[in-house]
Amino acid sequence: MSEAAETQSEIFAQMDQVPAAGSDVIAESPLSNFHWKTTGAEAGVTLSEQGLAGHLVLRSAGNSSFEAAVEKVLGMSLPGPLQSVSDDSGRVIRWTSPDEWLLTVSNSDAFSVEQQLRAEASGHYSIVNVSGGQTILMLSGDSAEMVLMKTCHYDTHESSFPVGKVVRTTFAKSGALIRRVGESEWELIIRRSFSDYLALWLQDAAGEYGLQII
Amino acid sequence: MLCIFCPHCGEYREEEEFSARGQAHIKRPEDPEACSDEEWGNYMFFRKNPKGLHHELWVHSAGCGKFFNMTRDTVSYEIKETYKIGEQPSVVAAEK
Amino acid sequence: MTQPNRVQDAGRINRSRPLTFTFNGRTFQGYEGDTVASALLANGIDIVGRSFKYARPRGIVAAGAEEPNAVLQLGASEAAQIPNVRATQQELYNGLECASTNGWPTVEFDVMAYLGKIGGGMMPPGFYNKTFMSPQSLWPTYEKYIRKAAGLGRASKQKDPDTYDHLNQHCDVLVVGGGAAGLAAALAAGEAGARVILADEQAEFGGALLHSNDWINEKPASNWVAETVARLRTMDNVQLLPYSTVNGYHDHNFLTIHQRQTDHLGETAPQGLTRQRLHRVRAGWVVLATGAHERPLVYANNDVPGCMIASAVSTYIRRYGVVPGNRLVVATTNDYAYQTAIDWANTGRQVVAVVDSRPDPDGELVAAAEKAGIRVIKGSVVYDVQGSKRVKSVSVARLSTTELSLAGSETTLDCDTVATSGGWSPVVHLSCHTGSRPVWDDDVIGFVPGPANQKQLLAGGIQGHYSIAECLAEGFSAGAQAATNAGFDKPTDLTVPKVHEPSVGKAMPLFYVPHKQPMTRAPKQFVDYQNDVTAASIDVATREGFEAIEHVKRYTALGFGTDQGKLGNINGMAITAQAVNKTIPETGTTVFRPNYTPVTFGAIAGRNARELFVPERYTAMHQWHVDNGAKFEDVGEWKRPWYYPKAGESMQDSLNREVLAVRNGVGMLDASTLGKIDIQGKDAREFLGRIYTNAWAKLAVGKCRYGLMCGEDGMVFDDGVTSCLGENHFLMTTTTGGAAHVLEWLELYHQTEWPELEVFFTSVTDHWATMTIGGPDSRKLLAELCDDIDLDKDAFKFMDWRQGTVAGVPARVFRISFTGELSYEINVQANFGMHVWKKLMEHGAKYGITPYGTETMHILRAEKGFIIVGQDTDSTLHPYDLGMGWAVAQQKPFSFVGKRGMSREDPTKANRKQLVGLLTKDPQKVLPEGAQAVADPKQAIPMTMLGHVTSSYYSATLGRSIAMGTIRGGLDRMGETVYYPMLDGSVVEAEICSPVFYDPKGDRQNV
């Protein structure tokens, strides 16, 4: 650990929150106890939980040192309003507010990425690991957009919601960070505590089109 | 159901994403201890209730989480403009 | 089975698909494409209900949304009961069962009719108010009887088997109404490339064109409809919504559309389908092409079955192949009704006469009728009807030149049907929803929309322009304009089709048809059928001083009811105007509000019903709680374990067991729901000092501190422990219910008051799973699962936190206590929460580890006198009132939030309500929470109340009851007695004491 990073650890508590490799610890993603009712073949809607990812909330209000650190460590720039960037390894940075982004990496990388960023950046910023607090649901299929239209009021038409755009909005009676991944594929990032409710909602909304879970 | 332009997100969003937080431009007194009870009471409780143009504080609670100001007609519900905290409105009610 | 009124070969019904249905228990047949109304008329059913007030027999009057009488109870099964279905809009399906809404005991023989007949003169406007409102205590009794005798439909007593949903939509152009103008507008906007929604309340698009005799582009009008709909269907950017009523026009071009997706298929939706859908549409531009409703004339006994609107008669004949009678008299003020006479004659049935109020009608249709041999009686009116259950004949007389009285002798014409037309009323409702007042137009003889308040355009009948040519031209123009306004290029290659239709002569403004008797003496002349409002009752209302139209409406009930006065309102306004000697524009209109037609509760609720009504939030250990029999308590949206009963235990047994386990061994609580906020930045400490009442400047890394948060008024609104994780890094906890509010509170001050402070707040509530192990054995238990934290009592002190590994999972362990016992709060990333919880249970078994819930937690903390914000506080108590002045750092340099507020005159005066402990004289008596304290239980009511009980429990630890509550000046009244009068007259006596009932020195948490 560099000296700068060591000083950082007294200023900011840092902690690898993932059990050591090879431990017998069982991880449970937010939806691991939800029992889906699926409707089998020719489903118009497909859902899949991409649980146990590393989620880091990045905060910076025009701190160029932090922006440079992100570019150096991640090879991507912090995207502008309502935009996202991603790399081939599946790391994604999503704009969520003028001074806030959500970075997803693998859960085992979350700590090292945070350390590297902290080692590079100076000035005012924050990095918060929120990996336990949310989960990623991939929603796809011919009727995926109908399910979204039943659930949130944001205009999902491609003219308003092109691929790559990120929108944080109300989602049923909770909220979600929605990113359009493809023409009929969407990424939903939802809060852990609401995930059972939202799964129940999505299952119900998708019912008439057929639902499969992968 | 208002359609509100969030000056931070740079686009229109549905009212459901926002929360209204009362009259805008209510500044916390610099030195509260120097305020009389009456001055402090005015700061805490006394608000305008105009028929017509009103400057309001809103927060994009389900979106970007940022506060901003809105100039809204309380009769027609027309939103004249939204602007960031620290900025001054360009549309104001005519002096009576 | 014969359908006596079915015409051969006419109409758009499918004669190869006969359908069976029942009405009032009798079985009938109709055809696919029928409405219930057209099928009833085809079967010769005259009476569909009884009127609300006078219980007079009523028949079908109209053919659309404006129908006031044919409002039926639908549903074969109890679960599928739907009240107040308009028979004119309900498509027929096989097996449909419906019944009259009014009529007791039967629609043919109605008890109330006799009351109505006898009491008619005794039932003036305001009758129910005047007669039954006193004494007020008896109103529920009256109401029950009145509702049974005359009320409208009833809801199902069973669970609705259907599902409903909402669909959020966005479009560039929303076209309301799919008649000539609406279709043209949709076509033009669609061709321009705009995203278009076209909504129409009927099964088929086309509106009046579906039964028109006129020609478009050298073909029947219905061909143009078919071609246009087919063309629209090919456009990806156009969405066609049939069975869809645009019911509300709200702010900023937000409109709601009620779509009945399966109501035409059966009484419950086919498996997997949503019965009704509410579209919530944000439209760029709106084109209102809602058309117009024909007005009936107001004449004596105009409610006898057989009295109909002229255009409805035409609709039944030409669209449904039903001619609703044998001998027709048409009464009109305009040319349009002549078409009805021609249509009727074409079925081979008799047209007795057309009675036209105009002395010299000269339109093409007039000539055509005369040419067809139809008798036309000019300058005359139908002023009275004979018959009770069906029209038998009508009285006709000449209208005087003043139009206010009759002239000359009367003629009686035998007939069974009277079709009247008093002209057309544009359907201005949606425009009015935007707050725009409609404007009277003398040429239209009706109200047209006022200036647009929103991005709204008009086309066709809503402007009082009724020719097909005008409708098409205005539709194309409005559609193209809407699209270009929304940023699209004007559509090319659109030519307005050529229309062949008769020219129309000038209509006469006539609303109320005079009788030989004065209005108040004449037989009833109905204005509003559904509410039994007569011309005379409006006259009485104005004479009793209700001259403003809104007052007339409320006094007479004009325009109330499920039809909202679509037929009667304009006539009512005209009669009001006449009564108060004003013009109609001077009298004005009542305000039309959403919804245009009634919407089912199902559609309003959508999917927000049953288990989806309120979100349930779960912690990472929720499944364990379920599997282990926890009873749950709702805390906000969270489901928190309340207590974990064992077989045979009462609730109090469980609580006693759980409490004693924590005091004597070890217990474990799922505390994950506490709000948690990560705070980073060099000014984090300064910020905490400004927002909390106590001091934060010197809190060292590794330490935790309890803090109180107050509003600017100085009153406590949240509390919690905040830990110093790093020099510039803190973890704040909040109450479960206050988490979102506190985060917004911090953001509010940061964003609006102190943006210069370098600090960021991030919610981590869901991220950390938190389990609290508490009790004398908790250290031993933790030691078994954690070998990298020195748990020695001097190395890891009370109010310290340490980072380490618990059960193999990296954890932050906080030695804080809400029970007064040795206690550790273990935070791990929630993905591993269940694992750690199970390991703690497993290893804790030897210590008798006992999971406990919120109720036990409440008792444990009350034994220690710890407050729960929101239970022991209610935003009128500041820290000193709570006896927590130790948590206020008055010397802090910055005037923290709440400081100035709590030093105001009122918060500093004596004798404020203060939080104290209470011990009942009878140790087994548990005070009810909320009970009010008095000094003298014998004082006469109203007694002087001193405060109330905020928390009260039986404490197994102490073997007696304990309570906390507010008492005026309570902190200075230790040892005094107060009294709590109970509902049953008994009085509970209690002594004021310190709220710390157990371990007052706090030794146990420091071991």
Structure tokens at C540: 């009485």
CA angle C765, C769, C771 (to 5 degrees): 120
Distance from CA of A180 to the nearest CA of C (A): 17
Distance from CA of B14 to the nearest CA of A (A): 7
- Give the pLDDT confidence of C810-847 residue by residue, as tens digits: 999 999 999 999 999 999 999 999 999 999 999 999 99
- Distance CA(C628)–CA(C141), nearest Å, equals 50
Cβ–Cβ below 8 Å for C623 and A33 = yes
Say whether pLDDT at C111 is over 60: no
Cβ–Cβ below 8 Å for B32 and C899 = yes
List of residues 6+ apart from C648 with CB closer than 8 A: none
Segments in C715-798 forming alpha helices (H): 739-748, 778-785
Distance from CA of A76 to the nearest CA of C (A): 23
One-letter amino acid identity for C1006?
A: N
Distance from CA of A83 to the nearest CA of C (A): 21
Identify the band that residue C404 occupies on the pLDDT scale cut at 50, 70 and 90: confident
Identify the band that residue C128 occupies on the pLDDT scale cut at 50, 70 and 90: low
- Distance CA(C726)–CA(C735), nearest Å, equals 23
Segments in C328-375 forming alpha helices (H): 336-346, 364-371
CA angle C415, C420, C421 (to 5 degrees): 160
Question: So what's the pLDDT on residue C142?
Answer: 60
- Domain C164-292+426-500 fold: FAD/NAD(P)-binding domain (3.50.50)
Question: So what's the pLDDT on residue A5?
Answer: 45
| Residues C99-113, mean pLDDT to the nearest whole number | 64
Q: Are A111 and A18 in contact (CB under 8 A)?
A: yes
Question: So what's the pLDDT on residue C123?
Answer: 58
Interface residue ranges in chain A relative to chain B, Cβ cutoff 8 Å? 81-82, 96-98, 100, 153-154, 167-170, 175
Distance from CA of B82 to the nearest CA of A (A): 16
Question: Which of B1, B38, B78 is most worth mutating to test chain C (most C CB atoms within 10 A of its CB)?
Answer: B1
Nearest chain A residue to C701, by CA: A10
One-letter amino acid identity for C935?
A: A
Tell me the CA end-to-end span of chain A in Å, nearest whole number: 41
**Which of the two residues, C563 and C992, has the higher pLDDT score?**
C992
Cβ–Cβ below 8 Å for A170 and B9 = no
Distance from CA of B78 to the nearest CA of C (A): 8
Identify the band that residue C136 occupies on the pLDDT scale cut at 50, 70 and 90: low
CATH of C296-422, one of 3.50.50.60, 3.30.390.30, 3.40.640.10, 3.30.1280.10: 3.50.50.60
Cβ–Cβ below 8 Å for C895 and B31 = yes
Nearest chain C residue to A34, by CA: C623
Question: So what's the pLDDT on residue C1?
Answer: 56
CA angle C709, C710, C712 (to 5 degrees): 145
Q: Which residues of A touch C767 (CB under 8 A)?
A: 129-134, 192
Q: Are C964 and C978 in contact (CB under 8 A)?
A: no
Cβ–Cβ below 8 Å for A169 and B63 = yes
Q: Which residues of B touch C717 (CB under 8 A)?
A: none
Cβ–Cβ below 8 Å for A154 and B10 = no
One-letter amino acid identity for C324?
A: P
Q: Considering the domain boundaries, does residue A116 fall inside one? A: yes
Q: State how far Cα C460 lies from the chain centre.
A: 32
Structure tokens at A46: 């497909």
The Cβ-side half-sphere exposure at C637, using a 13 Å CA radius, reads 18
Q: Which segment of A173-187, C6-20, C87-101, C126-140 scores lowest on mean pLDDT?
A: C126-140
- Pick B76's closest partner by Cβ from C250, C435, C895: C435
Question: So what's the pLDDT on residue B70?
Answer: 98
Cβ–Cβ below 8 Å for A130 and C762 = yes
- Pick B33's closest partner by Cβ from C251, C453, C900: C900
Structure tokens at C847: 């210590």
Report the CATH number of the B1-26+48-91 domain: 3.30.2270.10
Q: Which residues of B touch C744 (CB under 8 A)?
A: 19, 59, 61
| Residues C527-545, mean pLDDT to the nearest whole number | 94
Q: Considering the domain boundaries, does residue A142 fall inside one? A: yes
Q: Which of C873, C593, C890 is nearest to C719 (CA)?
A: C873
- Pick C728's closest partner by Cβ from A11, A51, A192: A11
Q: Are strands C809-814 and C801-806 parallel, antiparallel or unpaired?
A: antiparallel
- Distance CA(C834)–CA(C620), nearest Å, equals 6
Report the CATH number of the C910-1007 domain: 2.40.30.110
- Distance CA(C150)–CA(C127), nearest Å, equals 14
The secondary structure of C275-310 as a DSSP string is: SEEEEEEEEEEEEE---EEEPPPB-BTTTSTTEEEH
Question: Which of C614, C760, C785 is most worth mutating to test chain A (most A CB atoms within 10 A of its CB)?
Answer: C760
Cβ–Cβ below 8 Å for B32 and C905 = no
DSSP state of A132: G
Structure tokens at C429: 């409702």
Question: Which of A100, A128, A149, A153 is most worth mutating to test chain B (most B CB atoms within 10 A of its CB)?
Answer: A153
Distance from CA of C205 to the nearest CA of B (A): 29
Cβ–Cβ below 8 Å for B17 and A81 = no
Q: Which residues of C touch A59 (CB under 8 A)?
A: 680, 760, 762
pTM over 0.90, yes/no: yes
Distance from CA of C254 to the nearest CA of B (A): 7
- Distance CA(C968)–CA(B44), nearest Å, equals 26
The secondary structure of B18-80 as a DSSP string is: -EEEEES--PPPS-GGGS-HHHHHHHHH-----SSEEEEEEE-TTTT--EEEEEEETTT--EE
Q: Which residues of B touch A81 (CB under 8 A)?
A: 8-10
Question: So what's the pLDDT on residue C152?
Answer: 74
- Give the pLDDT confidence of C563-575 residue by residue, as tens digits: 888 999 999 999 9
- Pick B66's closest partner by Cβ from C712, C751, C901: C751
Q: Dihedral (C-alpha) C676, C682, C686, C687: value to the nearest 10 degrees? A: -40
Cβ–Cβ below 8 Å for B37 and C904 = yes
Say whether pLDDT at C113 is over 90: no
Say whether pLDDT at C946 is over 60: yes
Residue ranges matching CATH 3.50.50.60 in chain C: 164-292+426-500, 296-422
- Distance CA(A208)–CA(C273), nearest Å, equals 6
Q: Identify the H or E element spanning C92.
A: none
- Give the pLDDT confidence of B12-63 residue by residue, as tens digits: 999 999 999 999 999 999 999 999 999 999 999 999 999 999 999 999 999 9
Strand order in the sheet with C14-23: C26-32, C14-23, C96-100, C71-74, C82-86
Sequential pLDDT tens for chain A (214 residues): 344 445 566 899 999 999 998 999 999 999 999 999 988 668 999 999 999 999 999 999 999 999 999 999 999 999 999 999 999 999 999 999 999 999 999 999 999 999 999 999 999 999 999 999 999 999 999 999 999 999 999 999 999 999 999 999 999 999 999 999 999 999 999 999 999 999 999 999 999 999 999 9
Length reported for chain C:
1007
One-letter amino acid identity for C847?
A: Y
Distance from CA of B96 to the nearest CA of C (A): 25
- Give the pLDDT confidence of C596-618 residue by residue, as tens digits: 999 999 999 999 999 999 999 99
- The residue extents of the domains of chain B are 1-26+48-91
Cβ–Cβ below 8 Å for A12 and C680 = yes
Question: So what's the pLDDT on residue A1?
Answer: 39
Q: How many CB atoms lie within 10 A of CB B93?
A: 15
- Distance CA(C78)–CA(C262), nearest Å, equals 18
Mutual angle of helices C549-556 and C569-579, in 10-degree steps: 110
Say whether pLDDT at C132 is over 60: no
- Find chains touching chain A: ≥3 CB pairs under 8 Å: B, C
Range of the domain at A169: 43-213
Quickly tell me which residue has 């008051």 as its tokens: C753
Q: Which residues of A touch B66 (CB under 8 A)?
A: 97-98
- Give the pLDDT confidence of C871-893 residue by residue, as tens digits: 999 999 999 999 999 999 999 99
Report the CATH number of the C1-161 domain: 3.10.20.440
Length reported for chain A:
214
Q: Are A53 and A29 in contact (CB under 8 A)?
A: no
Distance from CA of A169 to the nearest CA of B (A): 5
List of residues 6+ apart from C842 with CB closer than 8 A: none
The secondary structure of C217-255 as a DSSP string is: TTEEHHHHHHHHHHHHHT-TTEEEETTEEEEEEEGGGEE
One-letter amino acid identity for B2?
A: L
Question: Which of C751, C878, C899 is most worth mutating to test chain B (most B CB atoms within 10 A of its CB)?
Answer: C751
* CATH code for position A84: 3.30.1360.120
- Pick A200's closest partner by Cβ from C611, C803, C807: C611
Q: Which residues of C touch A194 (CB under 8 A)?
A: 615, 617
Cβ–Cβ below 8 Å for A168 and B63 = yes
Cβ–Cβ below 8 Å for A155 and C809 = no
Cβ–Cβ below 8 Å for B2 and C251 = yes
Widest distance between CA atoms in chain C: 115
- Pick B44's closest partner by Cβ from C254, C713, C895: C713
Question: So what's the pLDDT on residue A2?
Answer: 45
Cβ–Cβ below 8 Å for B65 and A175 = no
Cβ–Cβ below 8 Å for C167 and A149 = yes
